[in-house]
Amino acid sequence: GKYVWRLSIDVMVLRCDGCVLDASSIAIREALQNTKLPKVQAVMEKGNDDANNGGSASKNDLLVDGDHHKAVSPCGAEDCPLVITVSVLSSPPSATDAVTSTTGSKRYKSIAIIDARTEEEACASTRVCVTVDTNGMVCGVHTLGGGGAGMEEEGEQGGAGGSSMPISMLGEVVTTASMAAKNLYTKLDRDRQVVKDVSSTDNDCGYGYLLKNHFLIQ
């Protein structure tokens, strides 16, 4: 068998101004990138166990190296994905620019917003959380209900609901999220390189420099 590390991450949200999943995914990724695991070696020690082995037995023990220069990052930390939330807002169709569906009902014109504030999220008809890895591949898609009007109006009394959107919009939303994730990965990698350059010349600047620029650390 092998000994493995089991890491747990607890995220405490002190204040939220929208896109809490996006901010949490950035914090988790940067936390893993800055985590260092000490070198651990399994050693065999002999012990006494009169009941089982006639007075002699062996047991495994762990030898932890205290040299932090030999510590390594968790395997796969660089592949931690990011979450991009796309808030879809809609406005009632007018007589001149209304979009008519195949069923003859009028659809709301939609606007996709990335990094929406709390007020904008409250007006969104739906929110789509897209998880994107470092290769630009989509790992998951999850929809969250919004507080705005539905995306399609079938009559004065009917509606599509506050958490629905046309399936034809999904491709556009996922593409938008993928492009945003690519730009975000580039920015995070660039900022991390700046941290390394500053840390190599300033001993007082630690690994928390990047998080301090984007998050409140108390």
Can you say whether residue 14 is alpha, beta or left, with left for phi > 0 and alpha for psi between -120 and 50 degrees? alpha
Q: What is the dihedral of CA 29, 33, 35, 39, to 10 degrees?
A: 130
Residue with tokens 């730009």: 183
What pLDDT does 25 receive?
Answer: 94
The 3-state DSSP class for residue 116 equals coil
pLDDT for the residue numbered 204: 47
Query: In this model, does residue 117 exceed pLDDT 70?
Result: yes
Handedness of CA 64, 66, 69, 72 (dihedral sign): positive
Question: Which of 49-58, 106-115, 145-154, 195-204 has the largest mean confidence?
Answer: 106-115
Q: Which two tokens stand for residue 166?
A: 């046309």
Q: Do 174 and 182 touch, CB atoms closer than 8 A?
A: no
Per-residue pLDDT band for 107 (boundaries 50, 70, 90) equals low
pLDDT at position 152, please?
47
**Rounded mean pLDDT, 81-107:** 67
DSSP state, residue 37:
B
Cα–Cα distances (Å) from 39 to 34, 36, 71, 88, in that order, read 16, 9, 6, 47
- Looking at per-residue pLDDT, the higher value among 173 and 69 belongs to 173
Instruction: Note the pTM of the prediction, 2 decimals.
Output: 0.69
Edge-to-edge strand list for the sheet holding 99-100: 99-100, 106-107, 152-153
pLDDT at 75: 86
Contact present, 191 and 210 (Cβ < 8 Å): yes
β-bridge mates for residue 112, sequence order: 88
